[in-house]
């Protein structure tokens, strides 16, 4: 018999069991009829754009989008405990839990936390249904990991802001209707001071989106040029010159959003690595080291507090593990692994994992300063 003892947020195990049964039934039906979008990680591939849009609409109609968002904005108003169930089962079924991370996790959560009621009403329901696809205008050619040095300006001009600058590594920028933008509203203030956070219509005059071809052959990322782009005053999210705090909460969501679903993905990846073998003792030793690192990461994830330091450590360990695993797999499989086919793309994609969401070097700095207490 299932215990009725509630969790800290008042949810009992039997509540979660019932919810899980509904989720499993929905995912089984969706997999069977071919409507489920395959899992793709943090970046939506261009070739899955249409099916991901349709999938988001279906997920929303079934009540599995914005599970913890207030009902007045299209959600179900349930405790966050339920989100873990949804993410876990999507990971087990190998389907995407949402249209894209930039919209449902980054933009959506930022608007929930820092937006006005009007901003919430305008953007949140349409985000849940997939009507709005979001992209992220943060990184610049000279301000990637060092985001505080960004140079794009948004100069106040009456009841509007005029934006000029360049952004890069913008995922899905060629498809997005709206973007979250960081820009300097007070050029006289150095570093993170004087930066504000905006919601931008990507169809605004003066926005030029140019897809960037990767060595995988895809164009998941874009560079975006902003030339006298006008943002109305109601496009400001959070306080004027206070966008750094809004952005840091967004980046923490990005680095720590996978939770238990990330644990399931890690376990699946370790199972794949266990199937590899080699008669070469050097390769065998390298494989054992990878598996040991993977088990250490799993143990850390199980006891993680979800804070920024834990998220940084998890992101660092996962991306470095996958990069080294791809290199070893190519060595074990030989020249065949470098021929065009399904095994080549993950190998070519792996170096980018050490850059996206904050480089490995930045994650090490966070660990050094916030966990080890070392000086900046």
Catalytic-role residue among 254, 275, 322, 369 = 254
Between CA 218 and CA 225, with CA 224 as vertex, the angle to 5 degrees is: 150
DSSP H helical ranges for the chain? 13-33, 49-61, 81-93, 101, 108-114, 117-128, 243-255, 259-274, 281-302, 308-333, 344-353, 360-370
- Give yes or no for a contact between 36 and 95, defined as CB atoms under 8 angstroms apart: yes
Euclidean distance between CA atoms 290 and 273, whole angstroms:
8
Euclidean distance between CA atoms 128 and 69, whole angstroms:
10
Task: Count the alpha carbons within 13 Å of 175 in the hemisphere toward its beta carbon.
Answer: 24
Q: How many beta carbons lie within 10 A of that of residue 156, not counting itself?
A: 14
Residue 201 main-chain phi, psi, to 5 deg? -80, 115
Whether 254 is catalytic: yes
CA distances from 148 to 34, 90, 182, 193, 251 (A): 44, 35, 10, 8, 13
- Give yes or no for a contact between 210 and 165, defined as CB atoms under 8 angstroms apart: no
- By annotation, the residues acting in catalysis are 254
């Amino acid at each position: 018999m299932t215990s009725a003892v509630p969790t800290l947020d008042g949810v009992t195990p039997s509540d979660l069991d019932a919810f899980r049964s509904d989720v499993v039934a929905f995912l089984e039906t969706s997999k069977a009829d071919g409507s489920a979008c395959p899992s793709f990680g943090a970046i939506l591939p261009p070739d899955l754009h249409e099916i991901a849009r349709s999938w988001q609409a279906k997920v929303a109609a079934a009540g599995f989008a914005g599970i913890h968002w207030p009902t007045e904005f299209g959600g179900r108003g349930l405790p966050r405990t339920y989100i873990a169930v949804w993410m876990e089962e999507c990971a087990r079924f190998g389907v995407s839990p949402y249209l894209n991370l930039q919209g449902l996790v980054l933009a959506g959560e930022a608007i929930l936390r820092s937006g006005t009621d009007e901003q919430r009403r305008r953007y949140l329901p349409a985000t849940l249904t997939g009507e709005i696809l979001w992209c992220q205008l943060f990184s610049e050619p000279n301000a990637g990991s060092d985001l505080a040095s960004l140079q794009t300006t948004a100069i106040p001009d009456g009841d509007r802001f005029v934006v000029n600058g360049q952004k890069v590594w913008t995922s899905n920028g060629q498809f997005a209707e709206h973007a979250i933008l960081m820009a300097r509203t007070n050029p006289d203030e150095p570093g993170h001071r004087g930066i504000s956070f905006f919601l931008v219509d990507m169809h605004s005059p003066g926005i030029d989106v140019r897809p960037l071809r990767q060595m995988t052959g895809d164009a998941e990322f874009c560079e975006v040029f902003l030339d006298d782009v006008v943002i109305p005053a109601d496009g400001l999210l959070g306080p004027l010159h206070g966008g750094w705090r809004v952005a840091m909460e967004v980046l923490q969501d990005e680095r720590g959003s996978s939770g238990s679903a990330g644990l399931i993905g890690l376990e699946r990846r370790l199972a794949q690595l266990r199937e590899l073998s080699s008669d070469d003792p050097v390769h065998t030793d390298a494989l054992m080291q990878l598996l040991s690192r993977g088990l250490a990461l799993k143990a850390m994830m199980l006891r993680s507090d979800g804070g920024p330091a834990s998220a940084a450590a998890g992101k660092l360990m996962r991306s470095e593990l996958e990069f080294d695993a791809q290199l070893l797999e190519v060595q074990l499989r030989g020249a065949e692994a470098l021929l065009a086919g399904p095994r080549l793309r993950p190998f070519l994609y792996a170096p980018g994992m050490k850059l996206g969401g904050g480089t490995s070097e930045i994650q090490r700095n966070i660990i050094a300063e916030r966990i080890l207490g070392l000086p900046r």
